[in-house]
Amino acid sequence: MEHPELLPHLFRTEFRKITAVLGKQLGVEHLEAAEDIASETFLAALETWSYKGIPDNPTAWLYSVAKNRARNYFTRNQLFTDKIAPKLTDSPPDFGEVEIDFSDKNITDSQLQMVFAVCHPSISVEAQIGLVLRILCGFGIDEIANAFLTNKETINKRLFRAKEKLRLEKVAIEFPNEREINSRLETVLMALYLLYNEGYYSESQDRILREDLCLEAMRLTYLLIENPPTNRPAVNALLALMCFHSSRFPARKDEKGETVLYQDQDETRWNQALIAKGGYFLHRASQGNTLSTYHLEAGIAYYHTIKADTNEKWERILQLYNQLLQIAYSPIAALNRTFALSKTNGKPVAIREAEKLQLTDNPYYYTLLGELYTDLDTDKARTNYQTAYALARTETDKKTIQKKIEKL
């Protein structure tokens, strides 16, 4: 096959579209069939294109094959409905006339409706993210297992149980009504936020996979922004947060693949276009009276795109953390706040606040204490770094902490 990289690219971009459209058409009880048809379509492309060559319009070819295979599926099920099911049940499914629409609008609508279906509050957040990655991002089971640092069997079981739950709950693949949209949108945003964090803070060693997770979370959040009913301030704030964080991706690793801490990053490697986009979406998020955790986290992330180490900057960050902890307390946010507190009120004050948290199973707790004790008490700094080293879960983190110990 000429251009062997084309099919993997199309798999990444088109598998999710085919699965979303067919999933919407078939209903939540046939999600696996939609995935199977999409997979069979790409298998057919691999077999056919290898000896016949790539067609003039590869995407249209894929859609045409997917339609034909879906019609065959409908025909088989209609046969079951007409001939066999009446003997087994009083209310067999009715597949009716099949029209499969791969227009741009229906693809977008199907993906948005699928987001709300798979991010249903009846299933766990881990299962929601897994289904998003599989159905809406086209990730393979191996990739999802890698992202969650687990094995294929665990992921397969998790996704199977989630689909069963959606079937039992009779979850419709549709937009929520006006009354439901706020609560349902909150669940979707949390899943996309955690999907992004899975990439940004991932312990996986696969850098490409990690950035892919972030890009997929941003793509799906942008779909929500392009859809008027879901173009809400919180959605814009979440995308702003993602843009600000992603802008520093190029500077977070050195040429050896080792982590570069914020204060040591080369700001000339920060993506200014993404910072500008983040500012645009944060401005849009400020319209209205909504103040979500995403607004506050986006504000904190914005100030981290300003490298100057000024008191005013850290005062603003500290105020934002104070607000964040008031509306949604989390120990990690409280821990991060103490670093800003050290910049405004000094290290001794920050140490007292940090030690109150007692996050004794968290390596970042000890890393921060090591940082705060540096220049104040070298022995305590070393002890905390050594504890952090023992708790660290990746070789990258261990190398970063070791460097800190050596600098002492």
For 288, which DSSP code?
A: S
Q: What is the pLDDT of residue 204?
A: 67
Angle (CA) 113-27-227 rounded to 5° is 10
Angle between helices 347-357 and 331-345 (to 10 degrees): 170
300, two tokens? 């904190």
> pLDDT higher for 112 or 257?
112
pLDDT > 70? residue 3: no
Q: How far apart are the first and last CA of the chain?
A: 57
pLDDT > 60? residue 81: no
What mean pLDDT do residues 48-73 have? Answer: 93
Q: What phi, psi does 253 have (nearest 5°)? A: -130, 145
Q: Alpha-carbon distance 138 to 118, whole Å? A: 14
pTM of the model: 0.89
Q: Which of 117-121, 152-156, 207-211, 213-217 has the lowest mean pLDDT?
A: 207-211
pLDDT digits 0-9 by tens, 82-126: 544 444 444 444 445 568 999 999 999 999 999 999 999 999 999
**How far, in whole angstroms, is CA 257 from its chain's centroid?**
22
231, two tokens? 């173009």
- The percent of residues in the chain predicted with pLDDT above 90, rounded, is 72
Which residues make Cβ contacts (< 8 Å) with residue 34, sequence separation at least 6?
Answer: 18, 19, 22, 23, 25, 26, 135
pLDDT > 90? residue 356: yes
The Cα-based distances of 178 to 139, 181, 226, 229, 246 in angstroms read 32, 5, 17, 9, 33
294, two tokens? 């995403």
307 membership: H or E segment, kind and range? none
For every residue of 184-229, DSSP letters joined together read HHHHHHHHHHHHHHHHHT---S-HHHHHHHHHHHHHHHHHHHHSGG
What pairs with residue 253 in β-bridges?
A: 259
